[in-house]
């Protein structure tokens, strides 16, 4: 049996057939798997950049002005862009104190209500992220460092990641209503 992001596409499927929900779920699963690979590369790149920075300062007394922001941009991108994948695996932090006290049906309703509340919060966050990205792009906002990269980059990664998370949560809201099974 395969493990990891690629294997999850097949095993995480909860709606069968060619309904729009099933097609969207498969497409998002493929998209999430691709993003996880790129995010993994981004995390490794951030590690190399920060290690290079430390060694450069310690061994050669050569300050770098770009490495901290480059690492932060990579980490922001990896964090937000993989949030939909983590949600698809139900990997976000949740409080499970009531699971043992409630019936299966009540837990199903509880999960659905949590998804609805999470969707509302994430939709607002995504909307604000898109407005920040647009504003940063239109105004040409850059960071306050000597390197001065455009702030539209992290805001865009944040907006894209939160939008994908909203789609993932919306699927988890719709699937039980469409007769699919909840993970």
pLDDT per residue as tens digits for the range 100-118: 888 888 888 888 899 999 9
Q: What is the pLDDT of residue 179?
A: 73
Q: What is the pLDDT of residue 164?
A: 97
Q: With the C-alpha atoms ordered 65, 70, 75, 81, is the resulting torsion angle positive or negative?
A: positive
pLDDT per residue as tens digits for the range 22-43: 899 999 999 999 999 999 999 9
Q: What is the pLDDT of residue 111?
A: 87
Residues of the chain with pLDDT under 70: 1-15, 93, 95, 180-183
Domain ranges of the chain: 5-177
Q: For 128, phi and psi rounded to 5 degrees?
A: -65, -35
Helix and strand numbers (H, E) in the chain are 6, 0
Instruction: Note the pTM of the prediction, 2 decimals.
Output: 0.83
Q: For 12, phi and psi rounded to 5 degrees?
A: -85, -5
Nearest Cα to Cα of residue 152 among 140, 165, 164: 140
Decide if 81 contacts 35 (C-beta within 8 A): yes
Query: Mean pLDDT across the chain, nearest whole number?
Result: 87
């Amino acid at each position: 049996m395969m493990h990891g992001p690629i294997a999850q596409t097949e095993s995480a499927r909860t709606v069968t057939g060619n309904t729009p929900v099933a097609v969207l779920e498969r497409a998002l699963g493929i998209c999430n798997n691709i993003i996880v690979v790129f995010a993994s590369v981004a995390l490794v790149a951030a590690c190399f950049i920060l290690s290079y920075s430390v060694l450069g300062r310690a061994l050669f007394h050569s300050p770098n002005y770009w490495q901290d922001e480059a690492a932060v941009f990579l980490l922001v991108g990896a964090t937000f862009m993989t949030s939909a994948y983590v949600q698809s695996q139900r990997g976000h932090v949740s409080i499970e104190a009531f699971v043992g006290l409630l019936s299966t049906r009540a837990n199903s309703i509880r999960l659905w209500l949590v998804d609805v509340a999470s969707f509302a919060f994430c939709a607002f966050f995504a909307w604000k992220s898109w407005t920040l990205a647009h504003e940063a792009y239109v105004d040409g906002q850059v960071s306050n460092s000597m390197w001065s990269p455009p702030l539209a980059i992290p805001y865009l990664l944040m907006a894209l990641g939160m939008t994908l998370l909203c789609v993932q949560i919306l699927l988890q809201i719709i699937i039980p209503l469409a007769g699919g099974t909840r993970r």
